[in-house]
Amino acid sequence: MPGWHALTKHYEEQGQLKVVGVIQEQHSDRARLFMQWKEMGWPLLVDSLNLLGVSGAPITLFLDEAGVIKAINPKRGALSEFLGADPVGGAAPIWSGASRTALLAPVINDELATADQQFLWGGLDGVTRAISGYQKVLLENPNHAEAQFRLGVAYRRRFDGERREANDFSLAVTHWGNALELNPNQYIWRRRIQQYGPRLSKPYSFYDWVHTARLDLREQGVEPIRLSVEPGGAEFAHPSAGFEVRDVSVENPDPQGRIFRDSENLIQIDSVAVPSRLRAGEAVRIHLRMTPDEKKKVHWNNEVEDLKLWTEGVADWQIQSRFHRYSVPEQAVTVEARTVEFELQAPEGTPPGIFTLRGYALYYICEDVGGQCLYRRQDFEVPIDVVN
């Protein structure tokens, strides 16, 4: 991409050429940060649902003045010939607003298309309406692979926003899995699961560039575009800096279970296993998300010590680490959602069935309603589905 940019920049400035980008990523602000870093100022359109239907990226297209595709994945050397070609029908047409409106093709009016438009333009309510729409499509035809993928995208979008509902992320992963099973050659879909899933045998550096981009931009005195969701886990080819895995010999911090339980769920723990179904010999990535209860005005108390997390593991499965520590922020009091991720591997020969990962978190919180600061333990269970 940067190579193309260096080549087209001049023609773009001269008004001879327009450069446009389309991305299928779940979080578009990451692509914006990439473009800010690479000083690529052209318009970027967001196609998280993959309405364009591409099964991989990158793809470069030459479009003529009329919007006709002249070349797919051309060599860079072909640009001058493309620019030299006569415009369609002589001079380039000048479009007024009215004529542009006339170009609007009739939109296919069915459940799927309606759900797509709700997702794109309906704001937070639209995402929930899109979820219902895709569900209706799948009720009629569970093998509608596109609807499966788009439903996953919509669930994940809602998970990242203020209207998050229980299981949104886990449902996203399930539907992405269904879509990929229906069409295993869809690379865009495969990447969605991989980015949240276990480290690949050959780790893929989805977002390792983010760190360098931020450093470079700050060095130039430019404030990097803020990301709504920080990349983490398998999105980096190396362990993420936000979560430190300590000495594996650390012992269970509360073996007798003497710490008082958070019986009121002042902290809500959501768990997701990615992929949602695995086979013997495969790995699974566990995402745990801990959120203070907003209604009870609960906040983290950061003045004591780090949040600790202990897991029992599953039978003879390999586990990255049983003990995890979430380093608390510098501010005395915060309300952020805290995520902890780690991986397990089912040994060869694991029979199909539901396996349960048990563990608990230890944390310091304060609640404004009762005015108390507490040290609490919360136990959790994560079901892991092993299939044939």
Partner 1 sequence: MEIHTKFSGLMGRLVCLVIISLGAKTSAAGLKTGELFPFLVLPRAADGKPDSLQSYRGTKTVLHVFASW
User: How far is the C-alpha of 356 from the C-alpha of 347, rounded, in Å?
Assistant: 15
CB of 29 to partner 1, least distance (A): 7
Determine contact, residues 14/7, Cβ cutoff 8 Å.
Answer: no
User: How far is the C-alpha of 9 from the C-alpha of 145, rounded, in Å?
Assistant: 38
Residues 6, 10, 53, 304: which binds partner 1 (CB under 8 A)? 53
Of residues 235 through 264, those in contact with partner 1 by CB under 8 A are 235
Quick one: how far is CA 289 from the chain centroid? 14
> Residue 4 or residue 380: which is nearer to partner 1 going by CB?
4
User: How far is the C-alpha of 343 from the C-alpha of 78, rounded, in Å?
Assistant: 46
Strand, coil or helix: 40: coil
Q: How many residues bind partner 1 (CB under 8 A)?
A: 83
Binding track over 104-133 against partner 1, x by CB under 8 A: xx--------------xx------------
Q: Any contact of residue 211 with partner 1 (CB under 8 A)?
A: no
> Residue 70 or residue 322: which is nearer to partner 1 going by CB?
70
CB of 266 to partner 1, least distance (A): 35
Q: Any contact of residue 77 with partner 1 (CB under 8 A)?
A: no
Identity of the amino acid at 268: Q
Q: Which residues pair with 359 in a beta bridge?
A: 311, 380
Determine whether 135 is exposed, middle or buried from the number of CB atoms within 10 Å of its CB (0-12, 13-18, 19+): middle
Of residues 258 through 317, those in contact with partner 1 by CB under 8 A are none
> Residue 33 or residue 278: which is nearer to partner 1 going by CB?
33
Quick one: which of 330, 324, 286 has its CA closest to 307? 324
Of the candidate spans 42-50, 127-135, 299-307, 316-324, the one that interacts with partner 1 by CB under 8 A turns out to be 42-50
- Sign for the pseudo-dihedral over CA of 224, 229, 234, 240: positive
> Residue 120 or residue 250: which is nearer to partner 1 going by CB?
120
Of residues 160 through 179, those in contact with partner 1 by CB under 8 A are 178
CB of 71 to partner 1, least distance (A): 6
Of the candidate spans 198-206, 268-276, 310-318, 326-334, the one that interacts with partner 1 by CB under 8 A turns out to be 198-206
C-alpha angle with apex 105: 101 to 107, nearest 5 degrees? 120
CB of 85 to partner 1, least distance (A): 8
Q: Would you state the structure tokens that stand for residue 72, as one six-digit string? A: 């797919």
Determine contact, residues 26/40, Cβ cutoff 8 Å.
Answer: no
Of residues 7 through 36, those in contact with partner 1 by CB under 8 A are 8, 15-25, 28-34
Of the candidate spans 44-52, 154-162, 314-322, 340-348, the one that interacts with partner 1 by CB under 8 A turns out to be 44-52
> Residue 105 or residue 263: which is nearer to partner 1 going by CB?
105
Determine contact, residues 309/360, Cβ cutoff 8 Å.
Answer: yes
Q: Any contact of residue 181 with partner 1 (CB under 8 A)?
A: yes
User: How far is the C-alpha of 373 from the C-alpha of 388, rounded, in Å?
Assistant: 48
Residues 135, 160, 163, 204: which binds partner 1 (CB under 8 A)? 204
Quick one: which of 324, 42, 277 has its CA closest to 173? 277
